Amino acid sequence: MKLTITEALRRVDESGETYAKLITAAAGDAGMHRPDKVDPQQPHTRDEIYIVASGTGTFICGNERHSFTPGDLLFVPAGVEHRFVDFTEDFATWVAFFGAPPN
């Protein structure tokens, strides 16, 4: 399977949400996240990786702050508070969740 950024962003737009799940597999899920002005995320029950597709800003993970640019990879352990702030209007990121969702 191949997904382009254009296709992934179209699916986010169609979802009416900030996130669209694009791949579901036994080992985890993958999707695209594109918040609008505010990132509404809450901690997740699985580890996750973000790969920034476009835009710049700051990523807060626990007590750490990191600036980001396209191509950067960001890791979040399960249960850790995190969000994107001060991001540009064109910000979008691929997201991969690892492991099966909890029962």
Q: Which residue has the tokens 């990121």?
A: 93
Q: What pLDDT is stored for residue 26 in this prediction?
A: 83
- Closest listed residue to residue 53, CA positions, set 2, 86, 4: 4
Going by pLDDT thresholds of 50, 70 and 90, the confidence category of residue 19 is very high
Q: What CATH number has the domain spanning 5-98?
A: 2.60.120.10
The pLDDT tens digits for 42-83 are 999 999 999 999 999 999 999 999 999 999 999 999 999 999
Over its C-alpha atoms, the chain yields an Rg (Å, rounded) of 13
Domain ranges within the chain, ordered by starting residue? 5-98
- Work out the mean pLDDT of the chain and round it to a whole number: 93
Q: Is 88 helix (H, G, I), strand (E, B) or coil?
A: coil
Q: What pLDDT is stored for residue 61 in this prediction?
A: 97
Q: Has this prediction a pTM greater than 0.85? A: yes
Q: What pLDDT is stored for residue 103 in this prediction?
A: 60
- Closest listed residue to residue 45, CA positions, set 96, 84, 101, 103: 101
